[in-house]
Amino acid sequence: MSDNIYKPYLMEIDNVIEETPDVRTFRLKFKNAEDAEKFTFKAGQFGEYSVFGEGESTFCVASSPTRKGYIECTFRKAGRVTNALANLEAGDTVGFRGPYGNTFPIEEWEGKNLLYIAGGIALPPMRCVIWNTIDLREKYKDITIVYGARTVSDLVYKHELKEWEERPDIRLVTTVDPGGQTPDWKGEIGFVPMVLEKLAPSSENTIAILCGPPVMIKFTMPVLKKLGFQDKDIYTTLENRMKCGFGKCGRCNVGKVFVCKDGPVFSYEQILSLPEEY
Amino acid sequence: MNNLVARAKELLNSNSVQVVIGYETGPTGVARPAFITNSEKADRLIYDERCVQNLAVYLTKHEVRKLGKAAIVATLPVMRSIMMLISEQQIIGENLVVLGISSEGNLLDIADIRVMQGIIEKSDLSNPPEYRELLAALNKMSPEEKFAYWQKELSKCIKCYACRQACPMCYCTRCTVEVNQPQWIPVQANTHGNMEWHILRAMHLAGRCISCGECGRSCPVGIPCHLLTMHLTDKVFNYFKVYAGTSDKMSSVMSTYEPNDKESFII
Amino acid sequence: METTRKLIRKQSLEKLYKLLSETRKIYAPVIAADKQVEYKYNPAFSDITFDHIRSTLSAKNVVFPKVENLFTFTNSKTESTINDIDLNKIPEVILWGAHPCDNAAFDILRSIFCWDITDEFFSKRLEKLVVIGLSCHQSDDYCFCTSVGLAPESSKGSDILLSRLQNGDYHAQILTEKGNSILNMAGELFEPVSAEKELITEVKGKFSHEQVTEKLKTAFENPFWVENSLRCIGCGACAYVCPTCACFDIQDETKGKNGKRYRSWDSCGFGLFTLHTSGHNPREVQSQRWRQRIMHKFSYMPERNESLGCVGCGRCSSGCPVDMNIAEQLEALQKI
């Protein structure tokens, strides 16, 4: 890359998956082979994705660093850029800057049980670390994934949920909000905090990774505390509005912390030390 | 202004209002808005010729509203803004005590909206004399001269939106310039985009501007942007024979059709 | 570099200006038709003011322009081409006659743009900048440089600092290699220093910034913020006139197939600044935004960037339509 830290890589959309009516997953490949060769990232990092003429939008790299040669991102159509992205198809060009931010400390988690809890569109920022730890399966003990969405059609990565469900070395619990089920729905019915309480996973030697809408986090935290999880053993990602991605533009700051540099991954212990501006 | 202070104390002590919005003197000697919530602090209130800011802008601000029922020190432009805000259903007249100030600077006894309406109706509602000379000079310019004048002035704009934020009538929680689907107005401050912004602002205020001049006064780089809205105030009066802020039941001239409206602009 | 002290006669200044303008762009303060003091590129020497207290906008535009293209691009259905900006084409500029507060701001901006990874747009502009500063012989109630560790004659950020003498001539401190190169280039215009007294204004101290920083550590939840920001109308004037405010937005604009991505000044005072697409806003009301402004400059920056985010120029206060006087508020904060 040149000295221009704002200049994105040119990426070709290799594949588009329509996850839900308003959520898409793109598989992106570097147009320049040299860029592809040099590019590395770690689980938890994010990037700035752009449609030239519309602008940039921030989301996590949703694929695992163990899967080489491409990156994936999943986004919901919400604003100007994501709507423009959703109108693109395989073969089209987008921009990507990254990777930015810190990472999930997966080396520190080795030898522990992992409990992933996600709600709705918050599975994508966790998918990277989930696959990363699954691809290094022997390093971790039990892996449990609790994933909830409002309705069955709002569940993303349906093909992968099936794969995870079928694997004997992963415990997957899916749930939808009451009324969101279909006649053939075999998962749980209920909100994530309640399903988690019923499931009652042990906090012994376990790391909990939690991503979801603020209301889900609010009601899930007391459940985790009740199960005996320590603040330092609970991880989440903060998603403040960003522009530059590297601590210059002044937008994502929470107190003295730059979400783009010191985050997006934070332990709950760190979150408690921050002013409530996220 | 002793009777203003006394009245403020009385209102706060009797808990008739929870905040008095008025003016105080800042450390460098300029008059500025004050929010008095305690009668012990009411002595800070002043009223003199330095008190020109249109305080009505605070009636729709979330954190001021949270303080409770308000009394507001109101010169003619503030009274007219209040009328506009009531007629556009942004505030409820009964929830407000108006501490009217006459053109001579005396405290007026305003029992209700009708009294205020009476005062407004008796006042000169055309653009204030201090702006008329400039407005006339602009009117005399050819379209090319006018364009050059505004191009020069608006090239200075830094898009800080002080003009919008200071205006009691710009109460939208999401302004058109903050909408990006589509992006009506460029985000950057360039001459072309600045002109688009100021024309849009003026058009949104046509028939609603009460000629307080606050937009121009607040501009940190000294753009006389109040002349744009004041010019439209003259135009609206010429076409429709109305001034904004004269009644609490005014319909917006620019969005209401009356059978006797002039149609001379239709070719 | 050891400071060299010289004298430059009033009439030699114009010669120096002419000499420098032969090879470089000069950015200097002039009094505009509407009496506002503004910086302009290559003004006539006679238009330059040596007597202003503060320009309306600071000089930061010279290193952090209000709008700057990051690159341009060309779009077709499936192809996009990026045309990079040639940063080597950034011209050499002389900032002429800027006051010590404005010049001290460059180091603060550097602490934002160049911590961790370097923003080349900023750093190249700063590299190509030579600052001929001018000590203040006048000040007003809005000035508070002495409360933030500076002074009307601070040399920080200047390559050459001029100070007016009673007889109208100037003392020149040559402070850096860049300054020295000007001395070498125009040696005949510089004379030995005189015994004349330098005219330096007095700026009274208003607060201790160390104490303010200390107080802010526990002031986040204080009712102070709501009480003292009720009159703030939420415009961006304070940030835009500020010499150290560096927050920016990034946007795209296109015309047909061609477009550009640019950055432009932004302000934490705007509600939109932190608004998430979901509608959630971490700083929902104005008091939170005002708190962010003060906290960022006087608490977060000292901790993260090892610099105070303020030079005491007073522009945010003099330019504020509703007299949000920052020095007054910091004085009050020191006492809470």
User: DSSP for A27-52?
Assistant: EEEESSHHHHHH----TT-EEEEEET
A87 touches chain B (CB under 8 A): no
Q: Min CA distance, B217 vs chain C (Å)?
A: 7
For chain B, the domains span 2-121, 129-255
**Residue A245 in 3-state DSSP?**
coil
Chains that touch B (3 or more CB pairs under 8 A): A, C
Q: Do C322 and B188 touch (CB under 8 A)?
A: no
pLDDT, position B257: 83
Q: C299 near C114, Cβ under 8 Å?
A: no
Q: Are C287 and C326 in contact (CB under 8 A)?
A: no
pTM of the predicted model, to two decimals? 0.95
The percent of residues in chain A predicted with pLDDT above 90, rounded, is 96
Render pLDDT for A46-65 as a digit per residue (tens, 0 to 9): 999 999 999 999 999 999 99
Q: What is the mean pLDDT of residues C12-19?
A: 96
Residue C253 touches partner B, C-beta closer than 8 Å: yes
Average pLDDT over every residue of A100-116: 97
Judged by CB atoms closer than 8 Å, whether chains meet at A79 and B180 is answered as: yes
Cα dihedral B56, B60, B65, B71, rounded to 10, equals 20
Under-70 pLDDT residues of chain B: 1, 265-267
| Cβ proximity of C300 and C106 under 8 Å | no
From C120, C261, C280, residue closest to A214, measured CB to CB = C280
- Cβ within 8 Å, pair A250-C249: no
> For residue A120, what is the DSSP state?
G
User: Is it the case that residue C239 has pLDDT exceeding 60?
Assistant: yes
For residue C237, the chain B residues in CB contact (below 8 A) are 160, 162, 218, 220
Contact of A69 with chain B, judged by CB distance below 8 Å, is answered with no
Instruction: State how far the Cα of A152 lies from the Cα of B28, in Å rounded to an integer.
Output: 63
C-alpha dihedral sign at A154, A17, A22, A48: positive
Residues 6 or more apart in contact with residue B138 via CB below 8 angstroms: B146, B149, B227, B231
The pLDDT value given to residue A1 = 44
Instruction: For residue C294, give the nearest of C258, C336, C252, C325 by alpha carbon.
Output: C325
Q: Are A53 and C79 inside 8 Å of each other by CB?
A: no
Measured between CA atoms, how close is B187 to chain A, in angstroms?
12
Residues A111-131, mean pLDDT to the nearest whole number: 96
Q: What is the chain C residue with the closest CA to A251? A: C274
Verify whether the Cβ–Cβ distance A6 to C300 is below 8 Å: no
Count other C-beta atoms under 10 Å from residue A77's C-beta: 16
Hey, what domains does chain A have and what are their CATH numbers?
A: 9-100 (2.40.30.10), 113-237 (3.40.50.80)
A101 interface with C at CB cutoff 8 Å: no
DSSP assignment of B134-171 equals HHHHHHHS-HHHHHHHHHHHHTT-----HHHHT-TT--
Residue of chain A whose alpha carbon sits nearest to that of B187 = A55
Q: In 3D, which of B18, B26, B24 has the Cα closest to residue B4? A: B24
User: Using CA of residue B54, residue B59, residue B61, residue B67, what is the dihedral sign?
Assistant: positive
CB contact (8 A) between residue B222 and residue C34: yes
3-state secondary structure (DSSP) of residue A124: helix
- Given an 8 Å threshold on Cβ–Cβ distance, is B220 in contact with C34? no
Q: Can you tell me whether residue C231 is helix, strand or coil? A: coil
Chain A residues whose CB is inside 8 A of the B181 CB are 79-80, 83
Domain edges within chain C: 4-335
Provide CB contacts within 8 A for C210, sequence distance 6+: none
Q: Cβ of A10 under 8 Å from any chain C Cβ?
A: yes
Residue C206 to chain B, least CA–CA distance (Å): 12
Residue B205 phi, psi (nearest 5): -105, 0
Interface of B with A (CB under 8 A): 180-181, 183
Q: Residues of B numbered 197-256 whose beta carbons fall under 8 angstroms of chain C's beta carbons: which are they?
A: 217-222
Dihedral (C-alpha) A230, A233, A236, A237: value to the nearest 10 degrees? 130
For residue B267, the model assigns a pLDDT of 56
Q: What is the pLDDT of residue B105?
A: 93
Amino acid making up residue A26: F
How many other CB atoms are found less than 10 A from the CB of residue C150? 24
What tokens were used for B110?
């305003």
The helix (H) or strand (E) run that includes residue C122 is helix C120-127
Which of B26, B62, B190 is nearest residue C323 as measured by Cβ atoms? Answer: B26
Kindly tell me the burial class for residue C69, based on how many C-beta atoms sit within 10 Å of its own C-beta (0-12, 13-18, 19 or more). middle
* pLDDT tier for residue C305 given thresholds of 50, 70 and 90: confident
Nearest CA in chain B to A55: B180
Tokens of C110: 């550097």
Q: Which of B53, B161, B173 sits opposite C322 (nearest CB)?
A: B53
pLDDT tens digit sequence for C195-229: 899 999 999 999 999 999 999 999 999 999 999 99
Question: What is the CB neighbour count within 10 angstroms for residue B75?
Answer: 22
Say if residues C8 and C16 touch (Cβ distance below 8 Å): yes
Contact C58/C242 with Cβ under 8 angstroms? yes
ipTM score here? 0.94
Identify the pLDDT of residue A53.
95
* C264 vs B contacts (CB less than 8 Å): 159, 187-189
pLDDT at residue C155, rounded to an integer:
97
Task: Say how far apart CA C326 and CA C314 lie, in whole Å.
Answer: 8
pLDDT of residue C35: 87
Does the CB of B190 have a partner CB in chain C at under 8 Å?
yes
CB contact under 8 A, A83 and B183: no
When mean pLDDT is compared across A95-99, C5-9, C152-156, C276-280, the lowest value belongs to C276-280
Contacts of A79 in chain B (CB under 8 A): 180-181
Instruction: Say yes or no: C120 contacts chain B, CB-CB below 8 A.
Output: no
Q: Is C328–B218 a contact, with Cβ atoms under 8 angstroms apart?
A: no
The closest alpha carbon to A240, from A216, A201, A275, A196, belongs to: A275
Amino acid at A246: F
How large is the angle between the packed helices B191-205 and B226-240, nearest 10 degrees?
40
Under 8 Å between Cβ of B168 and B56:
yes
Residue of B nearest to A53 (CA): B183
Q: How are the residues of chain C apportioned to helix, strand and coil, as percentages rounded to the nearest 5? A: 35, 20, 45
Structural element, H or E, at residue C177: helix C177-185
- Is the Cβ–Cβ distance between C199 and C163 less than 8 Å? yes
Is A79's Cβ below 8 Å from some Cβ in B? Answer: yes
pLDDT score for A2: 58
* Residues C206, A82: Cα–Cα separation, whole Å: 49
Q: Give CA separation, B227 vs A228, B157, B232, B240, C148, in Å.
A: 66, 15, 9, 20, 40
Beta strands in A199-270 (DSSP E): 206-211, 234-237, 265-267
Chain C from 189 to 228: CB within 8 A of any B CB: 226
Residues sharing a CB contact under 8 Å with residue C53, sequence separation 6 or more, in sequence order: C136, C138, C139, C140, C143
Length of chain B: 267
Closest chain A residue by Cα to residue B182: A80
Q: With an 8 Å Cβ cutoff, are C235 and B164 in contact?
A: yes
> What average pLDDT does chain C have?
96
Contact B183 A79 (CB under 8 A): no
| Coil/strand/helix, residue B41 | helix
**How many other β-carbons are positioned within 10 Å of the β-carbon of residue C180?**
15
Find out whether B19 and B41 touch, Cβ atoms under 8 Å. Answer: no
Both structure tokens of B100: 């009217």
* C-beta atoms surrounding B193 within 10 Å: 19
Can you tell me the distance from the alpha carbon of C123 to that of C312, in angstroms, rounded to the nearest whole number?
Answer: 24
Q: Does A92 touch chain C (CB under 8 A)?
A: yes
Quick check: C319 contacting B, CB < 8 Å? yes
Nearest 5°: CA angle at B57, between C268 and C271?
20
Neighbours of chain C (3+ CB pairs under 8 A): A, B
**Which residues partner with A173 through β-bridges?**
A146
- Judged by CB atoms closer than 8 Å, whether chains meet at C239 and B160 is answered as yes
Taking the CB of residue C289, how many other CB atoms lie within 10 A of it? 21
Locate C326 and state its tokens.
């920052």
- Which element (helix H / strand E) includes C132? strand C129-134
What is the residue type of A9?
Y
Q: Is the CB of residue B58 less than 8 Å away from at least one CB of chain C? A: yes
Instruction: Measure CA A202 to chain center.
Output: 23
Contact yes or no for C235 and B28 at CB 8 A: no
With contact defined as beta carbons under 8 Å apart, do C94 and C181 qualify?
no
Assign residue A168 a region: left if phi > 0, alpha if psi is -120 to 50, beta otherwise? alpha
